[in-house]
Structures are given as C-alpha cells and as structure tokens.
Amino acid sequence: MTTSSFDSSAYIFECCCGERFNNVAAASVCKKCRSYSVWGYTKYVINTETDAVVHGELPTDEEYKSQEAIAEKRWAEEQAEWQQQREEDERRWWEQQEAAAKATAAAAVEAAEDRLWAIQDKMLGHV
Ligand SMILES: [Zn+2]
C-alpha cells in the first residue's frame, strides 16, 4: 500500500490561525497568524496527517483562554482606533467640502460684484 503522506505538494501543515502550508518553514512564519491568531504570531504548526506538533508548542486551554482575552482586548482597541480614524477622516472630508463650497460661493459673489460694477460703469457712461 502506498501513501501520499509525504507528497511535498500536500498542504498538511496547519498553523495556529488555520492556514494550510506544504512546508513547516512557511507555516511557522505565517503572516495571517499575526493578525488572526490570538497569539499575534505563529504559536504552533501541526502536521494534520499525524496531529503532531511540528513547530512551537500547543497551548493549554487556560493559556489559550487568557491569551484570547488579551487578544480580544487588543482587537477591540484596534477596532476603536480604526473607528476613530474613520471619523477623523470623515470630519476632515466634510471640512474640505465646506471650504470648497465657501470658496465657490465667494468666487460667485466676486463675479456678481464685477458684473454689477460693469453695469454701473456702463450706466454712468464710463465705458
Ligand atoms: Zn497562520
């Protein structure tokens, strides 16, 4: 009986964020783990064929729970920061719109004044 367990193209290595890789080296530096895993880095990589930990180490349930709490706090902070940034951007956008509208209005007033002066000049026979 043959097995494809050691087929190098098989994506059997799973990092702690659940991404699959065909080699441990790539799995151990998974970029997604930084954002998506509670650890903020690749804590461990598992060979899904054998369930063996091939990089790092598995956390205990307690470790995971306490880290999860920390990560959730961090994610909430990031979310709040992102939200604040978005509101700031929006406020700036509205300020720009307002400034642009004012500039347009001022230009319109100026143009109207120019026209009035021209009419007045004409009426007074200056032209
Ligand atoms: Zn990952």
Residues 67, 109 within the same domain: yes
* pLDDT over 60 (residue 1): no
**pLDDT of amino acid 40:** 94
Please give the distance, rounded to the nearest whole angstrom, from the Cα atom of residue 32 to the centre of ligand 1.
Answer: 5
Please give the distance, rounded to the nearest whole angstrom, from the Cα atom of residue 27 to the centre of ligand 1.
Answer: 7
Residues 65, 125 within the same domain: yes
Please give the distance, rounded to the nearest whole angstrom, from the Cα atom of residue 26 to the centre of ligand 1.
Answer: 10
**pLDDT of amino acid 74:** 93
Please give the distance, rounded to the nearest whole angstrom, from the Cα atom of residue 4 to the centre of ligand 1.
Answer: 24
User: Domain containing 97: what range?
Assistant: 60-127
- Other residues' Cβ atoms within 10 Å of the Cβ of residue 86: 10
Q: Report, as an integer, the average pLDDT of 66-72.
A: 96
Q: Report, as an integer, the average pLDDT of 67-81.
A: 96
DSSP letters for 50-113: TTEEEEE-PPPHHHHHHHHHHHHHHHHHHHHHHHHHHHHHHHHHHHHHHHHHHHHHHHHHHHHH
**pLDDT of amino acid 124:** 86
Please give the distance, rounded to the nearest whole angstrom, from the Cα atom of residue 47 to the centre of ligand 1.
Answer: 13
Q: Report, as an integer, the average pLDDT of 76-104.
A: 97
Please give the distance, rounded to the nearest whole angstrom, from the Cα atom of residue 86 to the centre of ligand 1.
Answer: 28
Please give the distance, rounded to the nearest whole angstrom, from the Cα atom of residue 3 to the centre of ligand 1.
Answer: 27
Residues 47, 71 within the same domain: no
Percentage of the chain with pLDDT > 90?
A: 86
Q: Does 3 fall in a domain?
A: no
pTM here? 0.60
Residues 120, 97 within the same domain: yes
